[in-house]
Amino acid sequence: MTQILNGNLVSKERMETLKQRVGRLGGRPPALHVIRVGDDVASEIYVKKKIEKCQFVGIQSKEWPLQASTSQQELLDLVERLNQDDSVDGVLIQLPLPDHVGAGQVLEALKPAKDVDGFHPYNLGKLLAREVGLVPCTPLGIMSLLEHYDIEVAGKKVVVIGRSRIVGRPLSLLFDQAGGTVTVVHQLTKDPAEVCKQADILVAACGRPELIGPERVKEGAVVIDVGIHRLPSGKLCGDVQFEKVKDHCSWITPVPGGVGPMTICSLLENTVQAYQTKRL
C-alpha cells in the first residue's frame, strides 16, 4: 500500500524541536530579514508564511517589501547594509526578482554566512566539495523528509527531473553524497520516460503541472513532487499526476503538504545554523 510522505507533520515536529533549541539559546534571538521586490502575488504569500513560521519558533523577522521599480544598485546597497549589520543573521532575497535586476549579481553580493537560501556560489561550492555550508532549503527539506521515514538512499537509483540552481542541481549533489546513483533528466535527455522508469527514487522538479504520469514510474518507487501549480479549476497540483501515480509507488509526497512545508522548515533551521556559526 502506498504511504504518504507527510511534510506537514514532519515539518511541524522539526519546528517544535527548533523552537526548543531557540528557547535554549542565550542572548538575542536569531534574526531573519526577507527582501521582496515587486508585487508578485505568489511571493507575497510565500513570504507571509515564512514570517509566520519564524514567529512560531522564536526567530525575529523583518520583511523589506520594495517597489518593482527598485534599481539593482538600491538592492545591492540594502544587501550590503544587511551584510554589515551584526544583528542580522540570515537574509533571504525572494525570487523571482524583476527582469531589470540581475538576480545572480544580487545573490552573489550577499555575505555567504547570511545566505540562508544557500544560493551563493560559495555555499554551492561548499556543497560540491562536501564541506559544511548553508544548503538550499528545498533539497535539504527533501533529504530530511526521507530521513524521517528511514528511506534508504545508499545504493538506490535516483532520478531527478530538472536541473535548476534552486532544486535540481543541489539535490542531485545531496543524493550523490548519500550514496545514491543519480541521473538528472532535462529537456535534451533521450527517452526521458524510460530513464524515469528505472528510478527507485524519482524526484519531479520540472515545473510542469502533472507532467509525470504512471507510465514514468517504476512499481514500488518513492516519488517526490517539488512542483506546486494552480490549475484553471482552482485546484492545486504538483508536477506529478498524484491520483494516477499513487497506486504505483511505495511512498509519495502530496501537493500541498509534502515538500513545501519542509522547505520553510529548512529555512528556519538554516537561520539558526547561521546564527550559531558566524563565519566569513
Footprint of ligand GUN (CB under 6 A): 92-95, 117, 137-138, 166, 263
CA distances from 242 to 143, 145, 150 (A): 20, 18, 22
Query: Catalytic residue among 50, 53, 111, 218, which?
Result: 50
Residue closer to ligand GUN, measured from CB, 22 or 92: 92
Residue 72 is among the residues annotated as catalytic for this protein:
no
Neighbours of 206 (CB within 10 A): 23
d(CA 185, CA 163): 8
Residue closer to ligand GUN, measured from CB, 112 or 192: 112
Residue 221, beta-bridge partner list: 249
d(CA 280, CA 270): 16
Q: How far is the CB of 50 from ligand GUN (least distance, A)?
A: 9
Q: What is the DSSP letter of 80?
A: H
Residue 94 is among the residues annotated as catalytic for this protein:
yes
Query: Catalytic residue among 53, 89, 114, 117, which?
Result: 117
**Position with the least CB separation from ligand GUN:** 95
Q: How far is the CB of 152 from ligand GUN (least distance, A)?
A: 27
Residue closer to ligand GUN, measured from CB, 166 or 204: 166
Strand segments, DSSP code E, in the chain are: 3-4, 31-37, 60-66, 90-93, 157-161, 181-185, 201-204, 221-225, 229-230, 236-237, 249-252
Q: How far is the CB of 23 from ligand GUN (least distance, A)?
A: 26
Q: How far is the CB of 244 from ligand GUN (least distance, A)?
A: 27
Residue 50 is among the residues annotated as catalytic for this protein:
yes
Catalytic residues: 50, 94, 117
